[in-house]
Amino acid sequence: MNAPHPAPDTSAPGDLLHSAFYRFTPLADATEAAAAVRALATECGLFGAITIATEGINGAVSGPAAAVARFEAALQAPALLSGAFAGMPFKRSACVTPPFARLKVLVKPEIVALGLPGAETLPLPDMHDTTHLSPAQWRELLQREDVVLLDNRNHFEFRLGHFKGAEDPGVRHFRDFVAYVEAHAPAWREAQRPVAMYCTGGIRCDKTAPWLQSLGLQVLQLEGGILNYFQQLPDAAREWEGECFVFDKRIALDAQLQETPTTAAEVFDETDPGEAWRLARAQRLDAF
């Protein structure tokens, strides 16, 4: 069994931390798992948003550094769900604005729902296969000219910040990503161009990799996503342009994982129907 996998911690004990995590792993009873994780987060005094499904866990929590560390260790312990989350990595970032106002632990059919064609026949993602590149390996990859560097996020996220040279599929709804890949896959296959994709924390890429491979594409992905890249490489701004959107009340981080003064109104285009509702939701959540 894997040993607990703590994230690097350079914070002071009382600092407010955000910790993001996910793991694809079969869970026999998602409701039971959710109850156990909810009790643990509550005991540690954390707020956040966590989704549990029979395919695993996806979530983020925030609280004092010591409480976050206690939660991370207990979440990976053999005593919790027979160690289902042992060795799970965490992406940490310091907070000025409290990211969450409450704790939500939900049970859903999937830990990330992307509406992929034939999703029911796709295998559970292998989070340790050779498609995953460490931040250092990804940095080397970015020097290659033969790869398709594909941003696997929403258009507004790309607009706010992205890896230099990345392609924007123009995603307002996730079906736009599917359409973009299906339209370009024949040319990518013919040219034998590997598709190197990235997302915020890695989960979208893990979920979509088997589907891209089913189209006959060679797939590479950034392990742990943008947040892990920023966490592991202090000079990540060399390859990154702009800011990284985060789905909590902080709105955006820079390449040093520091909260920026960017507001929701500066991120979302209120004239775009696909973004106007996001702006309204962000402003509503900001009131709590």
C-alpha 200/C-alpha 91 separation (Å) is 10
- 44 catalytic, yes or no? no
- How far apart, in Å, are the Cα atoms of 23 and each of 52, 93, 201? 10, 19, 11
Q: Is the dihedral of CA 10, 76, 207, 19 positive or negative?
A: negative
Catalytic site residue from 44, 95, 199, 244: 199
- How far apart, in Å, are the Cα atoms of 185 and each of 23, 214, 217, 218? 28, 11, 7, 10
> Measured in whole angstroms, how far is the alpha carbon of residue 10 from the centre of its chain?
21
For 67, the 3-state DSSP assignment is helix
C-alpha 97/C-alpha 285 separation (Å) is 13
Beta strand pairing call for 240-242 and 161-163:
antiparallel
User: What number of other Cβ atoms are within 10 A of residue 18's Cβ?
Assistant: 27
Q: Strand ranges (DSSP E) for the chain?
A: 16-24, 47-53, 56-64, 91-94, 103-107, 132-133, 148-151, 161-163, 195-198, 219-222, 240-242, 244-245, 252-253
> Which residues are identified as catalytic?
199
